Structure 1
């Protein structure tokens, strides 16, 4: 379908590609990975024809179509509704529709047989091209990308950049190009839309090339990984996790080969140096010199996952409650965001706020920070809380004329220049890079600078709104390490599942105008949510089956309906209630146990024998209660699972 053969490409004196080759087949779903600046987007632009190779060729069959979602589409503006913009994908069908409309209008005043025949032909072609279903197809795609029915007639330019990008993505999907190229698509999607795209791409008939920093998305969306490194394209026959494992094995082999070659070079150089002046060894010396000149050098393995160590210091410790909002309401005109909602954020919480766009995540951040007021409610807490807020607009606050190091110096911390250099090294700015001006940095590099400024601010409470947008995978890993070492409290809005799986110990989500909390990791929340949905689906199915059972069937199966099913339902509901009751109790006791463990480190307690004895007694009691509650929860869970399998037929 697509062949990249020995392509070389340069930006000035910089080599982007050197004899790079790749073959793309139908149904290939390829993830393009590599460092920022390695040339991932450049590769897509070469394929799209926006750039021309200096050497080599990129060939594809005649009539092969390419769809390219890139950041340039953000500048597209029009007064057309988003539904009409999406339907532009059906250009040939719309042209036939226009011809049909023109003929129908003409026939109102000039009814001719030839017009009737032409109309019949056009309508037949329109039907064959499934013209009558294009609107419903466009509506379905836009719905999958998160648009509501009442928004479909709104003009494109009335939406923010991220939502406009979704419309352009929808248009591309409706076009169904032979080669679909997506450059960082998840930057503009929320979790439900990302999951919808993953399902959509799983059955896509054409080839798909994706540049993305979202590891979870890559794992679910691709079946081949191509690494861009040192001007070459290296293919791995699996998803991103497979690539990491296979690359690790290759790296070990390369490292061994590199070290062996370096050892051989040193031995050869020693021989040359030792016998250079001896005439009897001249021939052998020259032979070894020629051998070194002809030797194809093996590159050392680059460490893509550096370990960092950041020293976080707080000028003051906050109170136990970071923020508390009670019975608060928030609405925009007729749109209710929160109604009688409650929020409590405690010192040491590591919270990820997740969910679909438009639910109120960013609004909640503004309410907590005080940048926006609730309509009704009560606020408390916040003693000695120093807040740092990171969002994409923070990039605009960077002084573009500053060098990177100077920008960090102005962050308000008391860190020395050496300490700031170390922090910039953690954020992948090494050597003379720290003297680059902000204005020449890429979006990802600016994000790293802004994040570094946020983290060194000595704030004891961080609010991070989509911090992984525009970061490459190594940079995301750095941020994960930094947050794992951070001793304060943070609240993060993110759709990056890999990221929040590694940094959050609580999950918040907004449902029915309420803020709801799951006291566990993201993976535990996913499993819990799946169980909840499965249980709800099962109970709804049982109720529906019960309603649909006719009176005659009930008489014929009196024993089944009056005893077996009802008795099973009774036991099933009891087991479900008991399981959920003890699950909540286990979570409460685990929190209490962690709280007591934390208090044991308090000098006021461990330095007072009476208080220490009382705390230890309470700790042992809670530990005992937790063991009992856990055992009960496990027993009722087994009972629930057994009843699921024993449903009467």
Structure 2
């Protein structure tokens, strides 16, 4: 239920922000309207999350003003799950709507003491509040949100502490979605979600009638839910109307037009200078030469700010091809605390396959990769690598693969190619955006994106003919993900990978293996074809059920 009739929700005027001596953006002017989803994009460190925090009041700008309607209700994702550890999961979600939750709890308290002292007037006021907020269906709505985020119904009345860290953050996401805000702020909401839950969240945001502002590195998510893109780049903030794909086209086109206009003005100045040089000494042309000097003075050449976006260069190759059969998995089983995760999983991967392992969180995707990489023991079953297979592994938790925490970045990389000169190492690290000064940075001080780029570079220099990748794009920005996708598509070897990024899966996979509680679905084809087939299967099932119901009614 949306409360505001006004179209304008947030008006931003003259906003600027600096960190130390670094200017993030200046003179930002925006108008953000209801019934819209805006995606904030930009390179890591450009100021995306800073802008989001300024808009929701969690951080102050250096200059400028932000105007919102009075009594506007903001929905801001809370990352602190510790305060809710002993509270039922469903209640944690319902607590997001503070006014309704308080009214329901107070009404419950009045009823519990009704034999002693029943406050009829207060009860009536609470009843009005609850009815106006559709409160008697609130628990069902909260449960529906949890189901959409793939938190099973049998967990809803258990304390939050029973869930893993990623699932606790899902509950907090559910809390802010259930709060019925007028403005919804989401910073990387897909980070801890699987493909099924991301798809549900997209549907939720499409139906949302308020104003949603999202920071995300997920191409598919941005393209699907955002009607407008806010680009943080060139020390400025620019609003583009249209989805993410339209934004990328328009940004390139606009930059080319501006560069073309600058070149045109520079040529004009050069032509005028050539005329002046040639004729300034001639009395008959002196007047024209002076006129052209004045004309040059009036020509303004805009100095374009450098983009904060930097695209790494990932080049993945192999020394030699493997045998035809790359990996054979037979009846792999694995349980945690007597809870089955993988049950009789088996399939064969051949040379050149690009296989995406998909499925909900907790189904055993990463577990399977750990087993075939010998970092985890299966309870039953077996696997074997084929002839001449040389594997490069990107683990989801890859701290140990990077080197010792106190080790510097350069020595960590050089360990992979000790026979190469130091200049080779500097060059390869520069390709993945590490300057010479940055190569002395300690492993323990690397950001998530820096660690991912380093590990990809370490894998690439070994030239394996098989890649096993567990969420390789998790900490990369949009440019890094695009560069990785390009490198993987050009890679001539075999790939087995897990990713919740549908854009990456769709652009890369030639085969989909979905792990489900009832077994695996092994589909030879693209992700798009896989989803179309699954949708058709679902529609066919619905149609079959409808036909069966009609047949039974006729019999009666």
> Bigger relative contact order, structure 1 or 2, given CA contacts below 8 A and separation 6+?
2
For 2:521, the equivalent position in structure 1 comes to 516
Whether the 8 Å contact between 2:43 and 2:308 is mirrored in structure 1 is no
Rounded to whole Å, the distance in 1 between the matches of 2:133 and 2:510 is: 52
TM-score (norm 2): 0.88
For 1:557, the equivalent position in structure 2 comes to none
Residue 106 of structure 2 corresponds to residue 99 of structure 1: yes
* Displacement of 1:209: 0.9
For 2:391, the equivalent position in structure 1 comes to 387
Rounded to whole Å, the distance in 2 between the matches of 1:89 and 1:8 is: 32
Whether the 8 Å contact between 1:19 and 1:232 is mirrored in structure 2 is yes
Sort the Cα spacing of 1:516 and 1:55 in 2 relative to 1 into closer, same or farther, 3 A: same
Residue 87 of structure 2 corresponds to residue 64 of structure 1: no
* Displacement of 1:75: 7.0
Helix, strand or coil for the counterpart of 2:450?
helix
Whether the 8 Å contact between 1:144 and 1:193 is mirrored in structure 2 is yes
Residue 508 of structure 2 corresponds to residue 503 of structure 1: yes
Residue 36 of structure 2 corresponds to residue 28 of structure 1: yes
Equivalent pairs counted in the alignment come to 544
Rounded to whole Å, the distance in 1 between the matches of 2:219 and 2:355 is: 20
For 1:489, the equivalent position in structure 2 comes to 494
Structure with higher helix content:
1
Whether the 8 Å contact between 2:98 and 2:179 is mirrored in structure 1 is no
TM-score (norm 1): 0.76
Q: How does 1:472-487 map to 2 (within 5 A)?
A: 472-487=477-492
* Displacement of 1:312: 2.5
Q: How does 1:116-265 map to 2 (within 5 A)?
A: 116-265=120-269
Task: Report the more deviating stretch, 164-173 or 385-394.
Answer: 385-394
Structure with higher strand content:
2
Whether the 8 Å contact between 1:9 and 1:18 is mirrored in structure 2 is yes
Rounded to whole Å, the distance in 2 between the matches of 1:133 and 1:301 is: 53
Rounded to whole Å, the distance in 1 between the matches of 2:438 and 2:268 is: 34
Task: Report the more deviating stretch, 23-32 or 333-342.
Answer: 333-342
Aligned counterpart for 2:371 among listed residues 367, 371, 384: 367
Task: Report the more deviating stretch, 196-205 or 480-489.
Answer: 480-489
Whether the 8 Å contact between 1:361 and 1:493 is mirrored in structure 2 is yes
* Displacement of 1:396: 6.5
Whether the 8 Å contact between 1:69 and 1:183 is mirrored in structure 2 is yes
Whether the 8 Å contact between 2:310 and 2:433 is mirrored in structure 1 is no
Q: Deviations over 1:287-327 (max 9, x none)?
A: 478547xx34242886969695726243x654433321223
Unaligned runs of 5+ in 2: 1-8
Aligned counterpart for 2:90 among listed residues 83, 88, 102: 83
* Displacement of 1:77: 5.9
Rounded to whole Å, the distance in 2 between the matches of 1:456 and 1:4 is: 48
Helix, strand or coil for the counterpart of 2:433?
coil
Task: Report the more deviating stretch, 273-282 or 361-370.
Answer: 273-282
* Displacement of 1:76: 6.3
For 1:38, the equivalent position in structure 2 comes to 46
Larger CA Rg, structure 1 vs 2: 1
Whether the 8 Å contact between 1:97 and 1:126 is mirrored in structure 2 is yes
Rounded to whole Å, the distance in 2 between the matches of 1:80 and 1:273 is: 82
Whether the 8 Å contact between 2:315 and 2:460 is mirrored in structure 1 is no
Q: Deviations over 1:345-395 (max 9, x none)?
A: 223221111122122211211222222233332333444433332233214
Q: Over the residues paired in the alignment, what is the CA RMSD in angstroms?
A: 3.2
For 1:554, the equivalent position in structure 2 comes to none
Sort the Cα spacing of 1:442 and 1:267 in 2 relative to 1 into closer, same or farther, 3 A: farther
* Displacement of 1:239: 0.4
* Displacement of 1:254: 1.8
Unaligned runs of 5+ in 1: 552-649
Q: Deviations over 1:239-259 (max 9, x none)?
A: 011112222332331231132
Helix, strand or coil for the counterpart of 1:30?
strand
Residue 413 of structure 2 corresponds to residue 408 of structure 1: yes
Rounded to whole Å, the distance in 1 between the matches of 2:268 and 2:443 is: 44
Rounded to whole Å, the distance in 2 between the matches of 1:74 and 1:420 is: 43
- Following superposition, which runs of at least 4 residues in structure 1 exceed 4 angstroms of deviation? 72-77, 265-292, 300-309, 399-403, 412-416, 430-441
Helix, strand or coil for the counterpart of 2:186?
strand
Whether the 8 Å contact between 1:255 and 1:300 is mirrored in structure 2 is no
Whether the 8 Å contact between 2:77 and 2:176 is mirrored in structure 1 is yes
